[in-house]
Amino acid sequence: MKKRAARVQQGEEVTLCCCEYVNRHGERSHVAACCCDCEDLDDACERFVKREPQRAESLAKVAEVFKDRVRVPWLWGGARKVDLSIIPPLILLPALLHLAALHFLLGLVVLTALPGLVLWYYYFTHYKKGQTLFFLSLALFSLGYMYYLFITEVFPSGDISLAQVSMVTVGVVLTLIALVYTKREPGIVPLNQNPVPCTVRCDSSLTDNSTGINGGRQDATMAAADRIRSSGQEDAEPKESSRRNWCTTCRVVRPPRAGHCRICGVCVLRLDHHCVWINSCVGQANHRSFLLTLILFLLTSLYGISLVLQSVCPKQPLLLALLSCPGVYNQYRTALCFTCAWYSSIVTGGLLHLLAVQVINISHNVTEREARVALREKTARSTYWGLVVDTGVYSRGFRGNWTEFLTMGDKCNALAVAPTDLV
């Protein structure tokens, strides 16, 4: 079946119903027509039947068409595209956990292989510097699925009180609220020339190795200049002394401690790192809410794990229940709850390490990005196998560092400057 779609003119305002959308060719289409105009797929199938070699670009074109047409109806603005990376966790996580609950050895294999697969995919996507919703989908679905099993499998056993269920529910809700707030804005370097307020102490001599004013520290007195967009300034370049603060991608002069994220494609104020679990950068505007999200999730997870172990292993001490729980595999329900407790413990252990790194870095007033740069250039003191990295530039003592972190503003203030004015 072949249907000719009407092409939407550029700049034309289009009113779409809930099932309509504008495809990658700029043509108006409908979700019901997902099987129409499949020339690339037809050609690939025909070559397969005739045992002819496939064209080099055929499979890539089929994949592009498939990704463009997988959409869900939406009331405002037409059908929305579905990112395919969110689907694997929704299928694999329940399947693997139920498989692991069948036998002890299967649980050992699955719970050993699952973190390895996640780490492999993390390094694969990190190498390609591409955005993916896989980890955010895995995190959210893990939280939701563990809560669902807690309500449907653990609570009906009668070992958990309504007050304890309420505590877990409040923890899940607060974690989601903190996550939504964290996802709002990391603190992108502004595109306009208006100065914006800053309460973070900056030193231009550390992260980007540029020379500080009179060789000393300074409070933030610089702001991001406007990205060069006009034709008269398009080729303007900063002087040699400020070249390290110049972002050639965003064409903006970065304030001290700001950095460019190659995954998001923007410069972020006081960039700490890009977190794949929230699919966003952690910067000056959302660093505190990111830390709060970690704490809320860990408290909720630890409390939930303790309740599950008390229910399925009531005769064992809490600290030993994960290692020894006789008879837990006699019933599938208890085996599934025990497997989910182990899965949650693995996730909690990884996030405890992340929280420890965050607390240590904040205590020394150093971001994760600054720590990596300082270790690479051997300008920092590293102890405890690299867990503690102290650059010694921004630190004002434990109390002063935490005061600065908790009171820093969402944006960075500086006088708007042209790229060629920094010396």
Contact 258, 267 (CB under 8 A): yes
Query: How far, in Å, CA of 62 to CA of 99, rounded?
Result: 33
Instruction: Based on the fold, state whether residues 75 and 89 are members of the same structural domain.
Output: no
Are residue 115 and residue 141 in the same domain, yes or no? yes
Residue keyed to tokens 């980890």: 135
Same domain membership, residue 178 and residue 35: no
Task: Using the predicted structure, report yes or no on whether residue 168 has a pLDDT greater than 90.
Answer: yes
Q: Does residue 313 belong to any structural domain of this protein? A: yes
Bridge-based pairing state of the strands 28-30 and 259-261: unpaired
Statement to judge: residues 296 and 155 lie in one domain: yes
pLDDT digits (tens, 9 = 90+) for 75-121: 777 888 888 889 999 999 999 999 999 999 999 999 999 999 998 98
Q: Are residues 153 and 78 in the same domain?
A: no
* Phi and psi, residue 238, nearest 5°: -75, 165
Distance (Å, rounded) from C-alpha 213 to C-alpha 222?
Answer: 12
Q: Based on the fold, state whether residues 327 and 183 are members of the same structural domain.
A: yes
Weakest-pLDDT range from 24-38, 246-260, 294-308:
24-38
Work out the mean pLDDT of the chain and round it to a whole number. Answer: 79
> For residue 133, which of 68, 86, 180, 72 has the smallest C-alpha distance?
86
Per the model's pLDDT, the better-predicted residue between 66 and 420 turns out to be 66
Per the listing, tokens 């080099």 go with: 56
Residue 1 covered by a domain: no
In one-letter notation, the amino acid at residue 123 is Y
Task: Assess whether 74 and 93 both reside in one domain.
Answer: no
Residues 184 and 98 in one domain: yes
Same domain, 311 and 177: yes
Is the pLDDT confidence value at 241 over 50?
A: no
Mean pLDDT of 297-321: 92
Which of 198, 247, 261, 275 is the catalytic position?
275
Residues in CB range of 414: below 8 A, 6 or more apart? 195, 196, 198, 220, 221, 222, 223, 224, 255
Are 91 and 78 within one domain?
A: no
CA–CA separation, 391 and 408 (whole Å) = 20
113 is a domain residue: yes
What is the sign of the dihedral through the CA atoms of 394, 396, 399 and 405?
negative
Which neighbouring-strand residues pair with 27? 7
Does the residue 228 lie in any domain? no
Indicate whether 65 and 111 sit together in one domain: no
**Residues of the domain holding 321:** 85-188+282-362
Q: Is residue 420 part of a domain?
A: no
Report, as an integer, the average pLDDT of 332-351: 94
Residues in the chain, total: 423
pLDDT for the residue numbered 242: 54
Q: How much is the pTM? A: 0.77
Asked if 90 and 172 sit in the same domain, the reply is: yes
* Whether 275 is catalytic: yes
Q: What is the DSSP string of 178-244?
A: HHHHHTT---BPPSSSS-----S-B-TTSTT-PPPGGGS-B---B-PPPP--STTTTT----GGGGG
Q: Which tokens hold the place of 299?
A: 């408290």
Decide if pLDDT at 213 tops 70: no
Q: Residue 27 corresponds to which tokens in the numbers above?
A: 């043509």
Nearest to 105 by CA among 339, 346, 345: 339
What CA–CA distance (Å, rounded) separates 44 from 47? 5
Task: State residue 161's pLDDT score.
Answer: 92
Three-state secondary-structure class, residue 29: strand
